[in-house]
Structure 1
Amino acid sequence: MFGDRLPVAGAYAELLATDGVLRGLIGPREAPRIWDRHLLNCAAVADLIPADQLVVDVGSGAGLPGLVLAIARPDLRVVLVEPLARRTSFLSEAVVALDLADSVEVVRARAEEYAAGAARPADVVTARAVAPLDRLAGWCLPLLAPGGRLLALKGASAAEEVAAHRAAVDRLGGGAPRLHRCGAGVIDPPATVVEIIRERVLPARRAARGGGKKARRR
C-alpha cells in the first residue's frame, strides 16, 4: 500500500507508538495494532481518490487518515483540520519530522471555521470516527466543491447508519450515500467507507433561533 514510501510510514508508526501514546492521542493498547488497525485501514482509502486532489481531513486527531494518505499518495495536497491545540502541535511536529511540509498543511480550526476562510473548496473531505453521518455531512459537505466527495471511514454498523441518516444527508445537499469495502484481500477486515457526493449548494443558513448574542460571544 505504501510502495517506496514504506520507510516514511514506518517512521509515522513509531511516532504514534511513542509520542502519540505519551500525549494521549493513541491509547496504550493501540500501540501493537497501529499497522493493521490504523495505518493500513486508512491507506486503503487512497484507492478512492483520483490523482492531484485537494484533500481536507476533518477532525484529524493524530493524523488518521490525513497523514497516512499524504504518505501513501505524495501527489495529493492534504489539509489537516483539527480544533485541539495539543493535537495540532503533534501534527505540525509530525509533518516536519516526516518531511511532508511541501504537501501537508495543519490548520487549527473547526470544520465550519475552516470553511469560512478556505481559499478554495476541497475535492475530497475525509473523516474517521468523528461524528454520526448526519452531523458529519453538515460539517463536511460545505467544504466541498459541487461534485466533490466526502469519504467517511466507518465501522461495522455503517449500513445501518446510512439508512438512519439518508434523509438528513439529502436535506444537506448530498447524494445517496454509497458503501465501499476498501483493501479487500489485503487487509482483514477491509476498511468500510461511506461516500457522499455534494450534489447541491444550499443557501446560507439563518442564525439558530435564540443564538444571537451567545453565538457572537462564542
Structure 2
Amino acid sequence: MTERSEDPEAEEQDGLGLGPAPEAARKVFGESLPDVERYAELLADVGVRRGLIGPREVPRLWERHLLNCVVLSEAVPEGVTVCDVGSGAGLPGIPLALVRPDLKITLLEPLLRRTTFLQEVVELLGLDHVTVMRGRAEEVLGTLPPVHVVTARAVAPLERLAGWGVPLLRPYGEMVAIKGDTAEDEVRTARDALHKLGVVETTVEQIGEGVVDPLSTVVRARVGESPGGVRFAAKRAKAAKVARAGSRSPRAGRRRR
C-alpha cells in the first residue's frame, strides 16, 4: 500500500506529474513510443517552463493531447504533404510525424519561442521529414508550396481557421481540423465563408476507435480546383511572381563591372 504524503502541497505537485504511457499509446505508436515518451517529457518540463503548455495539462498529456492528436493519422492519406497551422507546441504535427514517416510535414507557427522549441524537438528526435517555419499562414502564401492537407487543433473557430488554412491547399486538397463538441455548430456558422474559400464538401467525423474515449472529432473541408477563392489565387500568383523575380536577380555581393 502506498503511503500518503503528510505534506498536502507536495502531494498536489505529485499529482501534476507525467504518468507512464498508457497501453493505448503503446498500441498506436508502436516502435516510435520511446521518441513519443521523450517528446512527452519535454512538454512536461521545458514546455511548461516556457509557457507552451499549462502545468495542469501534464497529467492529461497522454489521453487529452498525444493520443487525441495521433489518431488524426486515420484521416491523412499516404505520402502527402502536410502543413500544421498554428502548431504551437507541436500538436498535432509532432505526434503525426512520429507515426507517419511517409508524410512531408511543415510546422507553421508565428511565435519565436514556439518555433525554437519545435526546432529543438525535430532535431532531437531526428524527424528529417519535418520542417519548422516561422510565420502566419497569410504571410507564407507563395513561399510555402501548396500542400495536400492542412491540419490544426485548438487554433481558432472554424470560420477564421479556414481563412488561414484553406488558401494553403493545392487543388482538391483538404483541411482536417480537430474540434470538440461545437464542431457541427461551427460548420453551420462557417458554411458561407467555406463556400467563398472554394470548399466543396465539409464533413464532421469521429475518429480514434479503440484508442481514445471519447472519440476525437474532426472537421474535414475539401476544396475544389481553386482553394482560397479568387482573392487568394491572385495573392498567390503575385507572391510567386515576386519569388521568381528574386531568383533571377544578381547574387548578393557580385562584383560590379
Task: Name the TM-score, length of structure 2 as normaliser.
Answer: 0.77
Counterparts of 1:37-56 in structure 2, within 5 Å, are 37-56=64-83
One-letter amino acid matched to 1:50: P
Q: Does 1:103 align with 2:129?
A: yes
| Structure 2 gap segments, 5+ residues each | 1-27, 236-257
Corresponding position of 2:95: 68
| Structure 1 gap segments, 5+ residues each | 208-218
**Counterpart Cα distance in 2 of 1:36 and 1:190:** 11
Q: Does 1:149 align with 2:151?
A: no
Corresponding position of 2:5: none
Counterparts of 1:1-218 in structure 2, within 5 Å, are 1-100=28-127, 102-118=128-144, 120-201=145-226, 202-204=229-231
Secondary structure of the corresponding residue to residue 2 of structure 1: helix
Dislocated runs of 4+, deviation >3 Å: none
Task: Name the TM-score, length of structure 1 as normaliser.
Answer: 0.91
> Offset at 1:185?
2.9
Superposed CA RMSD in Å reads 1.4
Secondary structure of the corresponding residue to residue 176 of structure 1: strand
One-letter amino acid matched to 1:23: R
One-letter amino acid matched to 1:7: P
**Counterpart Cα distance in 2 of 1:156 and 1:134:** 16
**Counterpart Cα distance in 2 of 1:144 and 1:199:** 10
Q: Percentage identity across aligned positions?
A: 52
One-letter amino acid matched to 2:95: V
**Counterpart Cα distance in 1 of 2:207 and 2:33:** 19
One-letter amino acid matched to 2:80: Q
One-letter amino acid matched to 2:146: P
Q: CA offsets per residue over residues 58-90 of structure 1, 9 Å max, x none?
A: 000000001111011111111000000000000
Secondary structure of the corresponding residue to residue 191 of structure 2: helix
**Counterpart Cα distance in 1 of 2:200 and 2:216:** 21
